[in-house]
Amino acid sequence: MRKNYLLTPGPTPLPPKVSEAMSRPIIHHRTPQFQEILKEATNGLKYIYQTQNDVFILASSGTGAMEAAVINLLSAGDTALVVHGGKFGERWTEICKAYGINAEIINVEWGKAVDPSEIQKRLKANPNIKAVFTTLCETSTAVTNDLEAIGKVVKDTPAVLVVDAISGLGAIDLKTDVWGCDVVVSGSQKGLMLPPGLGFISVSPKAWKLCEASKSPRYYFDLRKAKKAIEKTDTPFTPAVTLVIALIEALAMMKEDGLEKVFTRHKKMADATRAAVKALGLELFAPSAASDAVTAAKLPAGIDGEKLVKTMRDTYGITIAGGQDVLKGKVIRIAHMGFIEEFDIIAGISCLEKVLQQMGHKFSLGSGVKAAEEVFLK
Binding site for its own copies (CB under 8 A): 4, 6, 8, 10-11, 13-14, 19-20, 22-29, 31-32, 59-64, 67, 71, 76, 94-95, 98-100, 187, 189, 195-197, 216-222, 237-243, 313-314, 319, 321
Report the residue number, 64 or 158, with the smaller CB distance to its own copies. 64
- Work out how close the CB of 276 gets to its own copies at its nearest, in angstroms, rounded to a whole number: 21
Task: Tell me the three-class secondary structure of 297-363, residue by residue.
Answer: EECCCCCCHHHHHHHHHHCCCEECEECCHHHCCCEEEEECCCCCCHHHHHHHHHHHHHHHHHCCCCC
Contact by Cβ (8 Å): 295, 279:
no
Residue 371 C-beta: closest distance to its own copies, Å? 26
What is the secondary structure of 13-62 as a DSSP string? Answer: PPPHHHHHHHTSPP--SSSHHHHHHHHHHHHHHHHHHT-SSEEEEEES-H
Contact at 8 Å (CB) between 66 and 164? yes
CB nearer its own copies, residue 244 or residue 275: 244
Instruction: Please provide residue 234's backbone torsions phi and psi, each rounded to the nearest 5 degrees.
Output: -140, 175
Question: Which helix (H) or strand (E) segment is 148 a member of?
Answer: helix 147-155
User: To the nearest whole angstrom, how small is the minimum distance from the Cβ of residue 14 to its own copies?
Assistant: 5
CA dist 12 and 68 (Å) reads: 24
CB-nearer residue toward its own copies: 238 or 357: 238
- Please, what is the minimum distance in Å from the beta carbon of residue 336 to its own copies? 15
Mode of pairing for the β-strands spanning 143-144 and 183-187:
unpaired
- By C-beta, is 18 or 375 nearer to its own copies? 18
Q: Considering the complex, what minimum distance in angstroms separates the CB of residue 45 from its own copies? A: 18
The DSSP code sequence of 162-197 is EEE-TTTBTTB---HHHHT-SEEEEESSSTT-S-S-
Least distance to its own copies, CB of residue 353, Å: 21
Half-sphere exposure of 296 (CA within 13 A, CB side): 29
**With respect to its own copies, which residue has the nearer C-beta, 27 or 125?**
27
- The answer to whether the CB of 309 falls within 8 A of the CB of 332 is yes
Which residue's CB is nearer to its own copies, number 195 or number 329? 195
Among 54, 63, 70, CA closest to 225: 54
Distance (Å, whole) CA 115 – CA 48: 26
- Comparing CB distances to its own copies, the nearer of 126 and 238 is 238
Least distance in Å: CB of 360 to its own copies? Answer: 25
Which is closer to its own copies, CB of 145 or CB of 189?
A: 189
**Nearest-approach distance from CB 11 to its own copies, in angstroms:** 5
